[in-house]
């Protein structure tokens, strides 16, 4: 059964990362993904929106998928339904992305275990922005 890293490991990871690719980032200010991305920007992170059909969010160029990114992010933060997580994990593994964060309420045990078994650091069912604020 999958378990998240302990809070010390999460805290250390959040201090090391600088770029966050946010899959499912909405340009709608009322959406949780927008509020989290804006909060991460305010904390000094560079966000990279990943969402088809969007060109720019929070002043950053948006990309339709992870394959389109010009460089690998330090972490992928996911705001997509649980059924989309296995394909996202496979993309991360194929591209060599080392960390994935599944936002609060997004749970896919099998995909999280697959990512972990592939050597990725995985955090599931937690809010990256909230954890960063609380653990710093």
Using CB atoms within 10 A of its CB, is residue 134 exposed (0-12), middle (13-18) or buried (19+)? Answer: exposed
* pTM metric for this prediction: 0.96
Residue 2 covered by a domain: no
The stretch 1-13 carries a mean pLDDT of 94
Burial 84-115 (b: 16+ CB within 10 A, else e): ebeebbebbbeeebbbbbbbbebebeebbbbb
CATH code of the domain in which 121 resides: 3.40.50.720
Is the model's pLDDT at 136 over the cut of 80? no
Task: Please give the residue range of the domain that contains residue 75.
Answer: 7-135
pLDDT at 1: 85
For the segment 20-48, what is each residue's pLDDT rounded down to a tens digit? 999 999 999 999 999 999 999 999 999 99
Residue 61 covered by a domain: yes
For the segment 66-103, what is each residue's pLDDT rounded down to a tens digit? 999 999 999 999 999 999 999 999 999 999 999 999 99
Residue 84 covered by a domain: yes
Residue 1 covered by a domain: no
Residue 71 covered by a domain: yes
When divided into structural domains, the chain yields a total of: 1
Q: What number of H helices and E strands is found in the chain?
A: 5, 7
């Amino acid at each position: 059964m999958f378990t998240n890293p302990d809070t010390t490991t999460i805290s250390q990871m959040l201090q090391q990362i600088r770029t966050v690719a946010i899959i499912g980032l909405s340009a709608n200010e009322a959406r949780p993904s927008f509020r989290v991305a804006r909060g991460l920007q305010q904390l000094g992170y560079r966000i990279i929106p990943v969402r088809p059909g969007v060109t720019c969010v929070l002043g950053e160029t948006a990309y339709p998928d992870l394959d389109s990114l010009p460089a690998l992010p330090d972490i992928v933060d996911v705001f997509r339904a649980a059924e989309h997580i296995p394909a996202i994990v496979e993309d991360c593994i194929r591209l060599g992305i080392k960390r994935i964060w599944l936002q609060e309420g997004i749970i896919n045990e099998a995909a999280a275990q697959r990512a972990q078994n592939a050597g990725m650091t995985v955090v599931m069912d937690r809010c990256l922005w909230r954890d960063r604020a609380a653990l710093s």
